[in-house]
Chain A
């Protein structure tokens, strides 16, 4: 694409009318072209103003209550998950025999990797006013934390400061019942730029001993192929 053609993309990009692939290519060009960046900043003043052009209303009060209820609940969960997390404490040994009851070969490798776990977070559980129970997770990723909120037998996993899964992989949630191998769920997730995720654990937690998270190839696996990065004693 010639420079004048790129320049013609600027307004379309600012108005959000480029296709996703075109936006990506334009952003890459913008990184390299000071002339386009200057023009982009000049026109951005106008495109930004459009967001304020609408007839002004107050947001319906119910939406504020809904949003703040979720935010406060997540803030509590994160506080609970990070409360007892050692910042520079000694590394702990972490033994979880029976994670992979049905797959002994994998269990050997998993235990070998899991014997020394950096930044392991161990916290307790607490009950919320609405009958929910919050259980802090054990997380192997340094600096990360997670908690499982259980209400009416259903679980919601809140993750914070978690590293992105390795390239070409995705986090997968597993449910493990006593004496059984972890069962896959349909919950596959990545994390936001800041390492956050809010994942509904599919199905009921009745009879579930642990909720696990591993990183798996995109599309998920039927059996865990890696050591869990998150373990919650459900």
Chain B
């Protein structure tokens, strides 16, 4: 019989999509591997959105526990496990941001300097940081009015109505900028990928 350590090491050789059926059956070790692989990127997204370490920790804790308890919802035809994890984290972070108390905390905390650890410099983590940098560059290359509505919506958790009020711009214009921005971002990412190859 294999011990827990060897069991974990053999699970680490499996792809995410092969681990998910085990998670669905309640195998904690399979879930642990999923957590190891995606907790960094999940925390980074939550921290980018919440701007506060404690809140970001709460968000990813809730997100991963929800993932553990609802593993059956994962459908590989609709995307990777990482995308699914990040979609859950994003939804949880938006919920946190839309609660008044969290927004207040975020503003109070914006000036605070928090010590966060950079990921260990493994090959995978270096690739993750490079990918993040490329996407930021593609986002920065958008016209300012487009990147602004995208950032307010996606990272700020604001609704299109709130953004329209904030920018004193008609709702239709805000939605139009979102669409043009995503379209342009897709083109920028395609071009970056072509250059890389």
Give the interface of A toward B (CB within 8 A). 7-12, 14-19, 42-43, 45-60, 62-64, 66-68, 70-72, 74-75, 78-79, 160, 192-194, 196, 198
Contact A55 B44 (CB under 8 A): yes
16 contacting pairs across A/B (C-beta < 8 A): A11-B175, A15-B182, A16-B90, A16-B91, A17-B153, A19-B159, A51-B89, A52-B45, A53-B135, A55-B132, A60-B43, A63-B39, A64-B35, A64-B39, A66-B61, A193-B72
Q: What class of interface size applies to chain B in its complex with A?
A: 35 or more
Segment at the interface with A among B10-18, B62-70, B101-109: B62-70
How distant is the Cα of A193 from the Cα of B74 in the complex, in angstroms? Answer: 11
**Of B42, B176, B186, which contacts A46 at CB under 8 A?**
B186
Contact with A along B1-41 (1 / 0, CB 8 A): 00000000000000000000000101110011001100111
- Identify which of B35, B90, B161, B178 gathers the most chain A CB atoms within 10 Å of its CB: B178
Contact B28 A68 (CB under 8 A): yes
What residues on B are CB-neighbors of A160 within 8 Å?
Answer: 26
Contact B41 A58 (CB under 8 A): no
How distant is the Cα of A43 from the Cα of B31 in the complex, in angstroms? Answer: 30
Give the interface of B toward A (CB within 8 A). 24, 26-28, 31-32, 35-36, 39-45, 47-49, 53, 57, 60-61, 64-66, 68-73, 79, 83, 86-87, 89-91, 94, 116-120, 125, 128-129, 131-132, 135-136, 138-139, 150, 153-155, 157-161, 163, 172, 174-176, 178-179, 181-183, 185-186, 189
**Of A47, A48, A59, which contacts B40 at CB under 8 A?**
A59
Closest 10 CB pairs of A and B: A54-B48, A194-B72, A51-B86, A17-B153, A59-B39, A11-B178, A15-B153, A59-B43, A11-B179, A75-B28
- Give the secondary structure class of A's interface: helix
Name the CB-closest residue of B to A47.
Answer: B182
A-B pair number, CB within 8 angstroms: 180
What residues on A are CB-neighbors of B44 within 8 Å?
Answer: 54-57
Contact A57 B47 (CB under 8 A): yes
What residues on A are CB-neighbors of B185 within 8 Å?
Answer: 46, 49
A24 to chain B, nearest CB (A): 14
How distant is the Cα of A37 from the Cα of B89 in the complex, in angstroms? Answer: 24
Contact B135 A17 (CB under 8 A): no
What residues on B are CB-neighbors of A7 within 8 Å?
Answer: 179
How distant is the Cα of A63 from the Cα of B46 in the complex, in angstroms? Answer: 13
